[in-house]
Each structure stands twice: as structure tokens, then as C-alpha cells.
């Protein structure tokens, strides 16, 4: 038993064992379905890529201004697939995906007599 369990503090899983090469994977530590999302920050003025960092769960540029034009404004772009050129500018965000309950259809019936069973049709 460690100190966190003694104090009743539940640590949040960081999903460190989920491979960044996969789009979706299950975390071996907590069992949640994880989606890997890549983000790049660009200058709003000139469109130059700026190195992104993750701070307090938010994607922000590492520098406070663009070294090309001096602008403080930036845009966050989500990239579906990362390439070797963008890997130096991108940041990986591992997001837990909640299961969709409305995708599941269940039918329950109270069966008293087995000889009167009929199929339920889905409309």
C-alpha cells in the first residue's frame, strides 16, 4: 500500500504505455480506450509552424511570439497523421474515449412459458 492509497487520493492514469504509433489503443494500466491526437500550432499572421507544448491540458506554443513576424496570435491545427517533418513541432494528446451507450440495443422479455416464445422485431 502506498501513501496515495492511505490518504484516499486517486491518481489519474497518464496512459504512458499506449503506443503513439496507433490511432486507437487500450491502455494496459487502466483499460480505457485511448485515442492519440496530434496537434501543431501555427502563427496566425504568417502561417509558420511553432513548436507546441501541452500545459495544464491545453495545447499552446512554446514561444510567446513568432520569430518570423513577431505576432502573438496562433492557431491550433489537429493533424490526422503525423510525418517525420512535423514531429518536431507537434504535441501528442492522449484522450480517453467514452463508450457510446446509444449504439447498443437490448431487448428484455419476461419468459414464463417457453412454448410461447416469439422473436422480437426491431423497428
If you write DSSP's letter for every residue of 24-87 in order, what string do you get? EEE-TTT--EEEEEEEEEEETTT--EE-EEEETTEEEESSSS-TTT----EEEEEESS--TTGG
pLDDT tens-digit profile of 30-53?
888 999 999 999 999 999 999 999
Q: What percentage of the chain reaches a pLDDT higher than 70?
A: 72
> Mean pLDDT of all residues in the chain?
83
pLDDT classification of 4: cutoffs 50, 70, 90: low
The domain spans of the chain are 20-99
Amino acid at each position: 500500500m502506498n501513501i496515495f492509497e492511505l490518504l484516499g487520493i486517486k491518481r489519474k492514469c497518464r496512459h504512458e504505455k499506449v503506443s503513439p504509433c496507433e490511432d486507437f489503443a487500450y491502455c494496459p494500466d487502466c483499460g480505457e480506450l485511448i485515442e492519440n491526437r496530434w496537434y501543431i500550432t501555427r502563427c496566425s499572421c504568417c502561417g509558420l509552424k511553432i513548436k507546441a507544448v501541452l500545459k495544464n491540458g491545453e495545447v499552446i506554443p512554446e514561444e510567446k511570439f513568432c520569430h518570423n513576424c513577431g505576432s502573438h496570435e496562433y492557431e491550433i491545427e489537429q493533424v490526422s497523421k503525423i510525418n517525420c517533418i512535423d514531429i518536431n513541432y507537434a504535441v501528442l494528446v492522449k484522450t480517453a474515449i467514452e463508450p457510446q451507450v446509444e449504439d447498443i440495443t437490448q431487448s428484455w422479455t419476461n419468459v414464463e412459458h417457453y412454448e410461447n416464445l416469439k422473436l422480437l422485431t426491431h423497428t
